[in-house]
């Protein structure tokens, strides 16, 4: 059975083609600059060079049609016919309170997403356009929506309620929702496996650190608090988003700086975070390089970002009441020892003891590692996330009628012997590049998969 996943942004469409029977990724790619000039598709199949095709895509339907044409291309395709695709899984950023788990999309579900657009004006419209376009191109197959917010629907009212007029919540849905749910679900389940614990007797703090960043408190296997709120703007310092600020600052800047509400929203979402502090860098690698050369604002960005993470770790440890592990994931979380190290400074009194050498070695997206000292009461794990696999498994289970909310459902990656075969094909190269990495890997590595040309 061939399953496709689609992740539609306002100007991009990411995709993956997956063979469920063989448990293999057949193709991945992205269409960039959708609705803009210079749009193109970047398409990868295992064992081949990346294919780039320039093609005008004035809307998401054209982008998805381009994807369909590419994956069945006689020379560069992954499958023989589009009829082989039996289901499509779609990322949906915001499901509000209406959805506590993934769902098969019908007209009523799609209308509910439209009704929720005001809660995620930067994300949901693009997600909806993608679903509508894909249903036009593939009208005969089931389409499934996997919500970022669903994982956090276990939060208690005292965690998701803001101290605002209650009518704002009752009438307009103003509350904390949280995001990165598929990432937190995957990493929470994997962390329980690595710790050898029942997932519903496991307490964690998970830090998803990338261009977008959030942190989640997990008590007995479910989300009880998270740093992002009504929108993905609240919480940690991010690539271009401010995270937590004094709510009076926007009013102050409208008065003193003459900034319009539209410009303020754009600034808080796209011109703040580490980009705002450095005034020129968003990539953490560039920031670290600049800091090493003595650029004070670059060093300040590192200090501010890591300090915010450290504060949340302390707060969430108190909220959970004792934790088994701190887990880092996503691009910076997986391959950013500097941020990880500074975020954990001074937490030894909480039983969180970082091994600096292990932390330095852990710079891979292809294996799970442990970077705490051997005697650390609280373990520190680095778990590369796999949101696409969650989308694939939810989609298959929905179509086959076996799906349920995650507390009543078991994923393949909860098996202690689970091996991610695509990553397994790359880990030997990482072992050669990073001497000693193999000593801190805690996930199974078979060595049976040939090295992939897609490794980086």
Q: Which residue has the higher pLDDT, 381 or 33?
A: 381
Instruction: Tell me, yes or no, whether 232 and 356 share the same domain.
Output: yes
Is 409 inside a domain boundary? no
Instruction: Tell me, yes or no, whether 129 and 49 share the same domain.
Output: yes
Burial class (CB in 10 A: 0-12, 13-18, 19+), 455: middle
Final residue of a domain: which of 115, 147, 179? 147
Residue of 21, 15, 39 lying closest to 84 (CA atoms): 21
Other CB atoms within a 10 A radius of the CB of residue 240 amount to 18
Is 100 inside a domain boundary? yes
Is 355 inside a domain boundary? yes
Other CB atoms within a 10 A radius of the CB of residue 250 amount to 16
- Is there a catalytic annotation at residue 148? yes
Final residue of a domain: which of 82, 116, 147? 147
What's the rounded Cα separation, in Å, for the pair 129 and 144?
14
Instruction: Tell me, yes or no, whether 199 and 329 share the same domain.
Output: yes
User: CATH number, domain at 210?
Assistant: 3.30.420.40
Q: What is the pLDDT of residue 307?
A: 98
Is 154 inside a domain boundary? no
Instruction: Tell me, yes or no, whether 226 and 366 share the same domain.
Output: yes
What integer is the mean pLDDT of 21-40? Answer: 91
Q: Partners of 209 in the beta sheet?
A: 213
Confidence class of residue 67 from pLDDT cuts 50, 70 and 90? very high
Instruction: Tell me, yes or no, whether 111 and 241 share the same domain.
Output: no
Is 164 inside a domain boundary? no
Q: What is the pLDDT of residue 428?
A: 86
Confidence class of residue 218 from pLDDT cuts 50, 70 and 90? very high
Task: Supply the mean pLDDT for the chain.
Answer: 93
Instruction: Tell me, yes or no, whether 43 and 103 share the same domain.
Output: yes
pLDDT tens for 369-428 read 999 999 999 999 999 999 999 999 999 999 999 999 999 999 999 999 998 888 887 888
pLDDT tens for 319-365 read 999 999 999 999 999 999 999 999 999 999 999 999 999 999 999 99
Instruction: Tell me, yes or no, whether 119 and 212 share the same domain.
Output: no
Catalytic residue selected from 148, 355, 394, 430: 148
Is 298 inside a domain boundary? yes
Residue 9, token pair as written in the block:
């942004």
Other CB atoms within a 10 A radius of the CB of residue 341 amount to 15
Instruction: Tell me, yes or no, whether 343 and 220 share the same domain.
Output: yes
What integer is the mean pLDDT of 197-213? Answer: 96
Q: 172 to each of 10, 96, 97, 116, 190, how far by Cα in Å?
A: 24, 11, 11, 10, 36
Q: How many domains does the chain have?
A: 2
| φ and ψ of 441, to 5 deg | -75, 130
Instruction: Tell me, yes or no, whether 43 and 141 share the same domain.
Output: yes
Is 356 inside a domain boundary? yes
Domain range holding 122? 2-147
Q: What is the pLDDT of residue 315?
A: 97
Final residue of a domain: which of 130, 147, 164? 147
Instruction: Tell me, yes or no, whether 252 and 114 share the same domain.
Output: no
pLDDT tens for 145-159 read 999 999 999 999 999
Q: What is the pLDDT of residue 137?
A: 87
Q: What is the pLDDT of residue 455?
A: 67
pLDDT cut 90: percent of the chain above it: 82
pLDDT tens for 277-295 read 999 999 999 999 999 999 9
pLDDT above 90 for 111: yes
pLDDT tens for 86-97 read 999 999 989 989
* Structural contact between residues 103 and 398, judged by C-beta atoms closer than 8 angstroms: yes
pLDDT above 80 for 445: no
Instruction: Tell me, yes or no, whether 251 and 127 share the same domain.
Output: no
Q: What is the pLDDT of residue 420?
A: 84
Instruction: Tell me, yes or no, whether 203 and 301 share the same domain.
Output: yes
Is 297 inside a domain boundary? yes
């Amino acid at each position: 059975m061939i399953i496709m996943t689609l992740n539609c942004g306002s100007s991009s469409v990411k995709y993956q083609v997956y063979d469920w029977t063989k448990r293999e990724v057949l193709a991945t790619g992205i269409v960039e600059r959708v609705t803009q000039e210079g749009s193109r598709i970047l398409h990868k199949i295992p064992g081949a060079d990346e294919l780039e095709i320039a093609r005008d895509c004035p809307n998401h339907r054209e982008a998805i049609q381009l994807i369909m044409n590419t994956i069945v291309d006689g020379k560069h395709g992954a499958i023989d016919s589009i009829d082989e695709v039996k289901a499509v899984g779609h990322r949906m950023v915001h499901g509000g309170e209406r959805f506590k788990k993934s769902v098969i999309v019908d007209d009523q579900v799609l209308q509910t997403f439209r009704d929720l657009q005001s809660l995620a004006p930067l994300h949901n419209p693009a997600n909806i356009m993608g679903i509508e376009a894909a249903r036009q191109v593939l009208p005969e197959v089931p389409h499934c929506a996997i919500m970022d917010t669903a994982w956090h629907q276990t939060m208690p009212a005292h965690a998701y309620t803001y101290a605002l007029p209650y009518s704002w919540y009752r009438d307009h849905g103003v509350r904390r929702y949280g995001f990165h749910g598929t990432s937190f679900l995957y990493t929470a389940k994997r962390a329980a496996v690595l710790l050898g614990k029942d997932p519903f007797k496991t307490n964690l703090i998970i830090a998803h650190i990338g261009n977008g960043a959030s942190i989640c408190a997990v008590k007995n296997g479910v989300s009880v608090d998270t740093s992002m709120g009504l929108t993905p703007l609240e919480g940690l310092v991010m690539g271009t988003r401010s995270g937590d600020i004094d709510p009076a600052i926007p009013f102050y800047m409208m008065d003193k700086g003459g900034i319009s509400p539209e410009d303020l929203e754009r600034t808080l979402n796209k011109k703040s975070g580490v980009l705002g502090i450095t005034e020129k860098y968003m990539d953490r690698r560039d920031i670290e390089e600049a800091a090493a050369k003595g650029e004070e604002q670059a060093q300040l960005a590192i200090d501010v970002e890591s300090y915010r993470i450290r504060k949340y770790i302390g707060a969430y440890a108190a909220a959970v009441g004792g934790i088994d592990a701190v887990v880092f994931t996503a691009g910076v979380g997986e391959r950013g020892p500097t941020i990880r190290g500074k975020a954990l400074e001074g937490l030894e009194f909480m039983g969180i003891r970082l091994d600096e050498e292990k932390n330095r070695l852990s710079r891979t997206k292809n294996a799970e590692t442990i970077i705490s000292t051997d005697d650390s009461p609280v373990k520190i794990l680095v778990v590369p996330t796999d949101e696409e696999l969650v989308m694939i498994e939810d989609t298959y289970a929905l179509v086959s009628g076996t799906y349920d909310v995650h507390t009543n459902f078991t994923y393949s990656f909860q098996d202690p012997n689970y091996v991610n075969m695509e990553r397994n094909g790359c880990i030997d190269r990482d072992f050669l590049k990073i001497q000693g990495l193999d000593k801190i890997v805690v996930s199974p590595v078979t060595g049976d998969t040939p090295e992939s040309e897609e490794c980086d």
